[in-house]
Amino acid sequence: MASNDIPSNKIHTPVLLERCVELLAPALEQPGAVLVDATLGMGGHAEAILSRFPGLTLVGLDRDTEALAIAEERLKGFGDRVHLVHTVYDGIGEALDGLGITEVAGVLFDLGVSSLQIDRVERGFSYSKDAPLDMRMDGTAGLTAASILADYSERDLKRIFQDYGEEKLSARYAKAIVEARETTPFVRSAQLVDVITKATPVVVQRQGHPAKRVFQALRIEVNQELAVLERAIPAALERVQVGGRIVVMAYQSLEDRIVKRALAAASGSTAPAGLPVELPEHKPLFTLLLRGAELASDEEKAINPRATPVRLRAAERLRRAAA
């Protein structure tokens, strides 16, 4: 069955949907509001939000052409209220410029690998099922997990496993991969899982699947997820209007750290230390809507297990910087 023939509501349960709507609502209720769903996926959040705010215009961004096709079908009933753009989310500024939109009422990010990408075995994101070592979120991009495993030096493999997977055995795994590829190139995920498992002490294997962090690191490197996110959050904040809101869901600590840092910078005073009075131009541009990162409730986790690792952060723009 072709992907577009599968009912999207059967393969995607939006994470923290009600909480996201609650946080965005004060901004989206305004006349002429525009929301950017920067990680549209199959349109689960978008469909619900468009239904609840009949005056809303939605701009949906995604690098995954398969997801965009599913979302387009799902959202076609909303007509010209929906504009879909094939781009990585750090292209938010260019996407809005292309539509003639300068500011938006809200921005929503649902980071990490999507339900579609996890569920499509042939995309190669899962270490639990054998598939080609692809891991591209954008099937039109060039770099794949297989090409990384074939071409990267032992030193570079160790670096990405350590930096992007926070893997303690990064050196051991990099060495094992370089040795194994001398005889057989890595083309399928089962090969990689086998090499990693054999290189993992039994006591470590008992602590969880040994390939989990390596697969995460490869996925991040293939899609340049952290570098893109470093650019995307400031670009999104720049487009939020006064009274507008940004809501971000992250699923692992590396992503959340970037989001936390960007929102903290935007919501902090720029007044020099020791200044007796904070001048208006030094006042924060944003205010945080949550104390720290909010986690999914036990009820949410039971309904949607993919919400288990989520960390939710949100902010509202208070003012524009003086020109």
Looking at residue 204, its pLDDT comes to: 87
Looking at residue 300, its pLDDT comes to: 93
| Cut 0.85: pTM above it | yes
CB 64 within 8 A of CB 116: yes
pLDDT in tens, 87-101: 999 999 999 999 999
Nearest in space to 163 (alpha carbons), one of 90, 100, 252: 252
CATH 3.20.20.10 fits 15-109+224-315, yes or no: no
Phi, psi (deg, nearest 5) at residue 58: -115, 135
Which amino acid belongs to residue 37?
Answer: D
pLDDT in tens, 140-160: 788 999 999 999 999 999 999
Give the start-to-end residue ranges of the domains of the chain: 15-109+224-315, 117-222
Nearest in space to 123 (alpha carbons), one of 200, 260, 218: 218
Percent of the chain clearing pLDDT 70 (strictly above):
91
The binding site for S-adenosyl-L-methionine consists of 43-45, 62, 89, 110, 117
Q: Which letter does DSSP use for residue 184 in this model?
A: S
Q: How far is CA 63 from the centre of its chain?
A: 11
Q: Beta-strand (E) ranges in the chain?
A: 34-37, 57-62, 82-86, 104-110, 240-250, 286-288, 294-295, 311-317
pLDDT, mean of residues 292-300: 95
Characterise 252 by phi-psi region: left (phi > 0), alpha (psi -120 to 50), beta (else): beta
Structure tokens at 62: 């995604």
Buried b (16+ CB within 10 A) or exposed e, 65-89: ebbbbbbeebbeebeeebbbbbbbb
CB 89 within 8 A of CB 39: yes
Class of 117-222 in CATH: mainly alpha
d(CA 228, CA 108): 15
d(CA 29, CA 41): 24
The binding site consists of 43-45, 62, 89, 110, 117
